Amino acid sequence: MSDTGTLVYVVDDDASAREGVAGLLRSAGLTAKTFASGEEFLAAPPPKKPSCLVLDVNLPGVSGLEVQRELAKAAVHLPIIFLTGHGDIPTTVRAVKAGAVNFLTKPFDDEELLNAIQQSTAAHEEASLDIGGETPCEYNFADIIGKSNALRKVLEQVAIVAPTDSTVLLLGETGTGKELVARALHSLSPRKDRNLVRLNCAAIPSGLVESELFGHEKGAFTGALIQKRGRFELADKGTLFLDEIGDIGLDLQPKLLRALQEQEFERLGSTRTIRVDVRLIAATHRDLGAMIAEGKFREDLFYRLNVFPIEVPPLRERREDIPLLVHHFVARFARMMERPIGTIPARAMDALANAPWPGNIRELENFIERCVILTRGDQLFVPVDELAGPVAVRPMPASTFHETERRAIIDALRACSGRLAGPGGAADRLGLKRTTLQRKMSRLSISRSDYRREPAGVGF
- Per residue in 220-235, pLDDT (tens digit) is 887 778 888 999 999 9
Q: Give dist(CA 302, CA 167) in Å, integer.
A: 11
Q: Specify whether the CB–CB gap between 30 and 22 falls below 8 A.
A: no
Residues 6+ apart with CB under 8 A from 261: 304
| Rounded-to-10 torsion of CA 288, 292, 298, 303 | 60
Q: Give dist(CA 134, CA 376) in Å, integer.
A: 22
Q: What is the pLDDT of residue 105?
A: 75
pLDDT at residue 432 greater than cutoff 80: no
3-state secondary structure of 253: helix
Range list of H helices, 272-357: 288-293, 299-305, 322-337, 346-354
Residues 6+ apart with CB under 8 A from 414: 451, 453
Q: Give dist(CA 429, CA 409) in Å, integer.
A: 9
Q: What is the mean pLDDT of the chain?
A: 82
Range list of H helices, 296-345: 299-305, 322-337
pLDDT band at 116 (very low <50, low <70, confident <90, very high): confident
Query: Helix count (H) and strand count (E) of the chain?
Result: 19, 16
Residues 184-210 pLDDT 10s: 999 999 999 899 999 999 888 877 899
* Residues written for the chain: 460
Burial of residue 173, with CB atoms counted within 10 A of its CB: 0-12 exposed, 13-18 middle, 19 or more buried: middle
Q: Give dist(CA 421, CA 433) in Å, integer.
A: 8
Distance, CA of 407 to chain centre: 25
Residues 52-63 pLDDT 10s: 889 888 888 888
pLDDT at residue 6 greater than cutoff 80: no
Least trusted range by pLDDT, from 13-27, 134-148, 324-338: 134-148
Q: What is the pLDDT of residue 284?
A: 96
